[in-house]
Amino acid sequence: MIGEALSLIATAILILSIGLAVVINSRDLIRLLIGLELMFNSVFLTTVALYVYQPYLAFIVVTISVITSAAEFIALITAILTVDKMRRNIETRSILAGGDKA
């Protein structure tokens, strides 16, 4: 069982990296949202190892993560609708830092 916590943490880090790659390679805001949600999966995988030793703490972490992801999702869907209304597209190349148009 020694390697199981190792494999869990390695898998979580790998999924975090894949989610980061999805965000970096995203061409529109929907793909960006999907990448961010994939990164939340690594948090859930990390709590698997934590749940064995501290179930109470792990449940609190999962609860806060789920609520945070819901709030992040609502903020992003608001941003997507606003960008679509202003620019008539949701591609990330039309957005720079601060939301300025290129």
Partner 1 sequence: MNVTDVGLALVVVEVLVVISSLAVLLTKDNLYSALYLALASGLSATALLLMNGVLPFVLIVMIYVGATITITIVLAATYRRPVAYTGVEGKWIGVALVIVVLSLIALKSVYSTPLQPASLSPAQLAHDVLSSGMTMLLILLVSFLSMVMAITIRYLKVTQS
Q: By CB under 8 A, name the binding residues for partner 1.
A: 1-11, 13-15, 17-22, 24-25, 27-28, 30-31, 33-35, 37-38, 40-41, 44-45, 47-49, 51-53, 55-56, 58-60, 62-64, 66-71, 73-75, 77-78, 80-82, 84-85, 90-91
Residue 91 sits at φ, ψ, to 5 deg, of: -80, 145
> For residues 2 and 90, what is the distance between their CA atoms, to the nearest angstrom?
46
- The distance of closest approach from Cβ of residue 33 to partner 1 in the complex, given in angstroms and rounded to an integer, is 6
If the CB atoms of residues 40 and 95 are measured against partner 1, the closer one turns out to be 40
Amino acid at 99: G
Q: Under a CB-based contact definition with an 8 Å cutoff, are residues 15 and 38 in contact?
A: yes
